[in-house]
Amino acid sequence: MVSVSDRVTLDATPPFGNEQLTDFSRVENAQAQEAALRQVESELGHTFPLIIGGERRFTDATFTSINPANPEQVVAVFAQAGEAEANEAVEAAWKRFQTWQYTPVAERAGYLFEAARLLRERRFYFNALMIYEVGKSWVEADGDTAEAIDFLEFYAREALRLGGEQPITPIAGEKNELRYIPLGVGIAIPPWNFPCAIMAGLTTSALVAGNTVILKPASTAATIAGRFVDLLEEAGVPKGVVSFLPGPGGVIGDVLVAHPLTRFISFTGSREVGLRINELASKLQPGQIWIKRAILEMGGKDAIVVDETADLDAAATAIVASAFGFQGQKCSACSRAILVDAVYETVLAKVVERARQLTVGPTVDRARFMGPVVDAGAFRKIQDYLRIGEGEGTLLLGGEALDRPGFFIAPTIFGDVAPNARLAQEEIFGPVLAVIRVADFDEALAVANNTQYGLTGALFSTDRARVERAVREFHVGNLYINRKCTGALVGGHPFGGFNMSGTDSKAGGHDYLLLFTQAKAISEKIG
């Protein structure tokens, strides 16, 4: 792997390839994961300071992150930033940007390559952090860490590409070039549901493009972010380039977004918060001399459509994996299964039977497919939707919280849900599947597009004409054919959606780093 000390070039860098997932059926991998779980358990209760301009700082105000499988267990304690610290962090990041922006792209990319190397070495450790802090299963946690490694490797290569010579039409008598230069101070606000991958992607994409970054982690997943910031420092990222600012969004979020020195905001989370950021970022503040950029990913109400020509077993398996993986807490999760009438009963029976086999419990146990939902607020919200569902569909499976410590909810399926029901329109973010019966493929497409979102979707069909219609008419940012609607891979599935799903920013795609740069054309008369 490339060292930071090397003069990294794109030509000398191997082509990007996705990180392979861990095979936990191999004894040595299972043992390594168990050892990492024991290590994380021994570290529970650690206190993390703020990091502002490279300075670690403790505050009187603190908050805790807890294990959602055992809410009495504190995972970590965090110094809590307030308005003063938020203002100070932006000002410190702006000061550091004055020199960091001129750091050679090869050096910046080298830090990401080194961070990827370190994250590979500590893969089981970061998996364990996610198992404890957000209740991911072993497989889901490992996929999250693998995606974080992919982001580091991919964005390092992308920075090298954008930092090289760009194609320009020759003009006689002039020397012309185009350079992509950084924007300034960025605010990274990642979600808790991909606490390693999206957090790392938001932070390092901005960093490698030459910006300074304030990372405001999700409070329920701040331990993973804190350990990743430590890893970046170990990888050589200079002090002050990344600030770590845990604290409640309601207290510091508006301050960070509205500050006149903030240049852009990268956010993944709820529609409501994303729209608030977009509104606040659009308002000109005293002393502000630019139009702020808001890079927003705001969720979905994703559907898998199955027609009468489909492989029904494959479709049922994909629906269950997409609906209940990580407890349905993915913006890409299948929360609607849209089945044509001819196969409705058959597919529904297969889905219910497969979902019935899912195991639920604390995910420190490798055998558990589903763990807890993330916190008490999510637990209550999902229970409210379970009650709503009783009046909007036929309860076929689940429908209840499990009687045990922790925030566990059974995989739940409601059949015969109307396309305009709340269960079919609102993002629940939990293990709740609404199954919708439609007459034919035409109606299926209409229902699939009948929400305010447009993130992911899938079609199961062997009819080529229908597949081509879906490609044209199924209005989502990520469309999958004859496979599940979750599990986007960096490079192969640039990720981001339409409508209220966000700004279609395409994380893990070749145009993503452009969002954190501005193009400068230089023309010099010669001869």
Strand, coil or helix: 349? helix
Q: Give the DSSP H or E segment for 272.
A: helix 271-281
* Distance of alpha carbon 106 from alpha carbon 211, whole angstroms: 15
Residues 6+ apart with CB under 8 A from 44: 73, 74, 75, 76, 132
* Distance of alpha carbon 193 from alpha carbon 191, whole angstroms: 6
Angle, helix 197-208 to helix 105-121, in steps of 10 degrees: 160
**CA 71 to each of CA 376, 396, 406: distance values in angstroms, whole numbers, following the listed order:** 9, 30, 6
- Catalytic choice (88, 133, 297, 427): 297
For residue 175 the two structure tokens come to 């020397």
Give Cα 316 distance to the centre of its chain.
Answer: 25
Is 55 a residue of the active site?
A: no
Q: What angle do CA 120, 123, 126 make, to 5 degrees?
A: 135
Residues 6+ apart with CB under 8 A from 312: 306, 343, 346, 347, 350
Is 297 a residue of the active site?
A: yes
**CA 365 to each of CA 36, 37, 137: distance values in angstroms, whole numbers, following the listed order:** 13, 10, 8
Residues 6+ apart with CB under 8 A from 153: 16, 19, 112, 113, 116
Residue pair 508/150 in contact (Cβ under 8 Å)? The answer is yes
Residue pair 331/197 in contact (Cβ under 8 Å)? The answer is no
- In terms of Cβ atoms closer than 10 Å to its own Cβ (0-12, 13-18, 19+), residue 518 is middle
Strand 55-57 versus strand 50-52 pairing type: antiparallel
Residues 6+ apart with CB under 8 A from 465: none
Query: DSSP string covering 359-386, please?
Result: -BS-TTSTT-SB---SSHHHHHHHHHHH
Query: Known catalytic residues?
Result: 297, 331
